Chain A
Amino acid sequence: MNRATKLRPSTSEMNYFPDEVIEHIFDFVASHRDRNSISLVNKSWHKIERYSRRQVFIGNCYAISPERLIRRFPCLRSLTLKGKPHFADFNLVPHEWGGFLHPWIDALAKGGVKLEELRLKRMVVSDESLELLSRSFVGFKSLVLVSCDGFTTDGLASIAANCRNLRELDLQENEIDDHRGQWLNCFPDTCTTLVSLNFACLKGEINLSALERLVARSPNLKSLKVNRAVPLDALTRLMSCCASQLVDLGVGCYENNEPEPESFAKLLFAIAKCTSLRSLSGFSEVGPLCLTAFIPISANLTSLNLSYAAEIQGNHLIKFVHFCKRLQRLWILDSIGDKGLEVVASSCKELQELRVFPSDLHDEEDNNNTAVTEVGLVAISAGCPKLHSILYFCKQMTNAALITVAKNCPNFIRFRLCILEPNKPDHITSQSLDEGFGAIVQACKGLRRLSVSGLLTDKVFLYIGMYAEQLEMLSIAFAGDTDKGMLDVLNGCKKLRKLEIRDSPFGNAALLADVGKYETMRSLWMSSCEVTLGGCKRLARNAPWLNVEIINENESGRMERNEEDEREKVDRLYLYRTVVGTRKDAPPCVTIL
């Protein structure tokens, strides 16, 4: 072997190391994609990687079966599963569509997997599944449920009672049937391991003394987010209990009137002790005084979520945000106004992620000066150099503003703009917003996620196809003129994984042009578009490795076979690649072609 070969390491040389060494090296590779790549190098690496994989991420629970997953990764400890498509968040997917957790728990339990962490998004979770989960995995530590439904507080009671080593119970935005039971009481006295407890989305009453006792015996508790049933006095006591270690606090609901001076003083005292607090959220049904109470520690905050603080007027929001000099993440309602965003731009120089949500859904309030416009967006882009993710709901936009934003912030990874009125043009020039979004995709070379809105022609999709090279997820609503728009996206965006389209005139020609493209993507959603049943059937025939699902308007009955009209427009189409073929758990309203 000559010198040159010796100096250049190759995999064949690496195979002279024992498996344990290679495995140890793999331990440093955390990202799922990198691990997937490693497993493709050769058979030996595939095997080592399989047995050493601890964390698995499944972006679509129907892409693979639990049994196959466990066969491949028998030593997995942490599983992330996603169920319903994204537009399910906006009532576009029937509840019973699918994404059931139970078969997964069943298989994991039978397969003897030593599961420790489970993260679920948009899955249907039943009390039975939670009970089975709680009894099957001795070392179970962490349960995170995001936008799930199908369970009640009884299921939470099983988790509390049986998971002896529970560290994290994080419930985000779930629809939970609250039986107002005593689930908090079900944590045994011996349970002292809690690090994170979030039940902000629960709607009902809870046992306050049970909560207080639980917090008192949890010396490691760093994150506590309570629901609206925890009044001021109780919250103050809770905070006093774990003030010094609290990093993340979600505030519940105070009394509607201003608090008693004495109670308020106690709250201020407790807040002053929260020197480690970095993240603050909640404040639904809370008056402004209780937000101002947190000003003394506001300079330490890196994350602030006031998107539920619907009762606090803009001026109070502005006053608070002004003090948050270290803020990296801000979620807020548009009642902060353009003026408020200008304050954010001048005060929050570390800001990385901003979400501005609409506060007035039906144009009830005539206060046009309290909503946000392109002015606020431009101010933020100019003032916050580290900004990389934005979700912005607004009433109006201009191309000029978007072009300026693109110039100010070429580092955007996520850019989601939602103009509340569909098809709304540039409010100054009355033109489409093609040029504005075109500027964004051209300048932001690292853009991975994009949502477009307003009046848009096929041109914007030409730009997206041409420039958005790193784009992985695209959301389209009420946009485009012809199939060419969708075709430009499918042909141009090589890294596209998820495409979701609603109310846009794209049809069969675009859907069928490149069937192979869908093998490179996780999923495609099209609702209220121009695709027909015939087109979908043709697609399903040509791509057996895809599940092509039609979700019908009429949720009660399957389509009558002999009455099908191939020219009938499809209400909702959802297709995704899968290695396990047609699923067996689809409800009547879903037809899989």
Chain B
Amino acid sequence: MEICNSYSSSSVDSTNPSPSEYSVNLSLSLTFPSTSPQRARKQDWPPIKPRLRDTLKGRRRLLQRDYDTCLFVKVYMEGVPIGRKLDLSTFSGYESLLENLSHMFNTSIICGNHRDRKHHVLTYQDTDGDWMMVGDIPWEMFLETVRRLKITKPERC
């Protein structure tokens, strides 16, 4: 209401200003309701009922909760043209991921730190498009940045 009263008491011609006049008069500190803090305080826009408003206010930021994120990524084994798809959100950490992959591809796979000539190494492509060794960063961070996985032959790394 405060905003609308300021429309009428401003020096703008009060007989039916058009919407374009409102936008031009930003210098008179008229602002559009949805983004103004006053409107947010008044809680009368958008027109939703109090129970929904409370529910949305009490809502935790979904981005922070990883158990309800479905994170399917493609997994390729070097030399094998057909890949697999894996939901990373079902794993609790690198260990269970490796265990599962080893089982899936029927070979032993390890992370970067312990590489030797016998085992495959797991690598991933991140959001920048770069191919990196799996295992260097914390698991939660890895989930945020991983886009696809590749199981490489030992000599490559």
Could you tell me which A residues sit within 8 Å of B by CB distance? Answer: 87, 89-92, 147, 173, 175, 201, 257-258, 284-285, 287-289, 307-308, 310-313, 315-316, 335, 357-365, 393, 418, 420-423, 455, 457, 477-478, 481-483, 503, 505, 507, 527-528, 530, 553, 569, 571
Contact flag A91-B68 (CB < 8 Å), given A313-B62, A503-B4:
no
By a CB distance below 8 angstroms, the chain A residues around B49 are 89-90, 147, 173
Closest residue of A by beta carbon distance from B8: A569
Nearest-neighbour CB distance to chain B for A349, whole angstroms, equals: 26
User: Which residues does chain B contribute within 8 Å of A201, judged by CB atoms?
Assistant: 51
- From A285, A335, A358, give the contact of B46 (CB < 8 A): A358
Contact B43 A455 (CB under 8 A): no
- Asked if B83 is at the interface (CB within 8 A of a chain A CB), the reply is no
B67 within 8 A of A: yes
CB within 8 A of A310: which of B4, B50, B59? B59
Contact between chains at B51 and A313 (CB < 8 Å): no
Residue B44 is within 8 A (CB to CB) of chain A in the complex: yes
Q: List 27 A-B contacts (CB under 8 A).
A: A90-B43, A90-B44, A90-B47, A90-B48, A175-B50, A201-B51, A289-B68, A308-B52, A310-B55, A311-B68, A316-B70, A335-B62, A357-B52, A358-B56, A361-B40, A361-B57, A393-B46, A418-B47, A421-B34, A421-B35, A457-B18, A477-B45, A478-B33, A505-B17, A530-B8, A553-B1, A569-B8
| CB–CB B48/A311 < 8 A | no
A481 to B48 alpha-carbon distance, docked (Å): 26
Report yes or no: A287 in contact with B68, Cβ–Cβ below 8 A: yes
Q: Are B47 and A477 in touch, CB under 8 angstroms? A: yes
Q: How far is the CA of A294 from the CA of B118 in the complex (A)?
A: 47
- Are A571 and B1 also in contact (CB < 8 A) when A420-B34, A503-B33 are? yes
B16 within 8 Å of A (CB atoms): yes
Q: B residues within 8 Å of A by Cβ?
A: 1, 4-5, 8, 14, 16-19, 22-23, 32-35, 40, 42-53, 55-63, 65, 67-70
B32 touches A423 (CB 8 A): yes
Task: List chain B residues, Cβ under 8 A from A528.
Answer: 1, 4-5
Cβ of A420 and Cβ of B46 under 8 Å apart? yes
Prevailing SS type, chain A contact patch: loop
Q: How far is the CB of B48 from chain A (nearest CB, A)?
A: 6
Quick one: which of A257, A289, A361, A423 contacts B53, CB cutoff 8 A? A361
Provide the bound-state CA to CA distance between A475 and B48, in Å.
Answer: 14
In the complex, residue of chain A having the shortest beta-carbon distance to the beta carbon of B17: A505
Name the A residues within 8 Å of B59 (CB-CB): 310-311, 359
B60 touches A311 (CB 8 A): yes
CA distance A359 to B16 in the complex (A): 34
Q: Is there an interface contact between B48 and A357, defined as CB atoms closer than 8 Å?
A: yes
In the complex, the 9 A-B pairs of residues with the closest C-beta atoms, listed nearest first: A528-B4, A310-B59, A505-B16, A90-B47, A91-B44, A90-B44, A288-B68, A421-B34, A482-B16
For residue A593, give the distance in angstroms from its CB to the closest CB of chain B. Answer: 20
7 extra interface residue pairs, beta carbon distance < 8 Å, beyond A423-B32, A483-B16: A87-B47, A89-B50, A147-B49, A315-B70, A393-B46, A478-B33, A527-B1
- Nearest-Cβ distance from residue B68 to partner chain A, whole angstroms: 5
Contacts of A358 in B (CB 8 A): 46, 48, 56
Instruction: Kindly report which residue of chain A lies nearest to residue B70, judged by CB atoms.
Output: A315
Chain B residue contacts of A287, Cβ below 8 A: 67-68
Specify which of A257, A422, A569 is in contact with B33 (CB 8 Å cutoff): A422
Is B47 a contact partner of A89 (Cβ separation < 8 A)? yes
- Bound together, the chains give a CA A308 to CA B52 distance in angstroms of 7
Residues of B within 8 A of A91 (CB): 42-44, 50
Closest chain-B Cβ to A300's Cβ sits at a distance in Å of 25
> Given that A310-B56, A313-B62, A528-B4 are contacting pairs, would A361 and B46 also be in contact in the complex, using a CB cutoff of 8 Å?
yes
- A312 — which chain B residues lie within 8 A by C-beta? 68
CB distance from A151 to the nearest CB of B (A): 16
B residues less than 8 Å from A90 (CB atoms): 43-45, 47-49
Give A359 to B59 CA distance when docked, in angstroms.
9
Q: Which residues of chain B come closer than 8 Å to A175, judged between CB atoms?
A: 50
Smallest CB gap from A257: residue in B: B67
User: Are A173's CB and B1's CB within 8 A?
Assistant: no
A530 CB contacts on chain B under 8 angstroms: 8, 14, 16
| Bound: A185/B123 CA distance, A | 61
A418-B1 contact in complex given A308-B52, A312-B68, C-beta closer than 8 Å = no
Contacts of B62 in A (CB 8 A): 311, 313, 335, 365
Q: How far is A357 from B4 in the complex, measured between Cα atoms in Å?
A: 26
- Chain B residue contacts of A477, Cβ below 8 A: 45, 47
B contact residues around A147 at 8 Å (CB): 49
Cβ contact within 8 Å between A481 and B55:
no
A361 near B16: Cβ-Cβ < 8 Å: no
Q: In the complex, A365 Cα to B65 Cα: how many Å?
A: 14
Which of B4, B35, B69 lies at the interface centre, i.e. has the most chain A CB atoms within 10 A of its CB? B4
- Residues of B with C-beta under 8 A to A87: 47
Question: Cβ of A505: which chain B residues have Cβ within 8 Å of it?
Answer: 16-17
Which chain A residue has the least Cβ–Cβ distance from B57?
A: A361
CA distance A25 to B92 in the complex (A): 70
Q: Name the contact of A423 in the complex, choosing from B22, B67, B68 (C-beta under 8 A).
A: B22
Q: Which residue on B lies nearest to A315, using beta carbons?
A: B70
Closest to B19 in A: A423
From B54, which residue of chain A is reached at the shortest CB distance? A203
How far, in angstroms, from A87 to B33 measured CA to CA in the complex? 17
List the B side residues contacting A359 at CB < 8 Å: 56, 59
Q: Which residues of A contact B16 (CB under 8 A)?
A: 481-483, 505, 507, 530
Which of B43, B47, B58, B68 has its CB near the most chain A CB atoms (within 10 A)?
Answer: B47
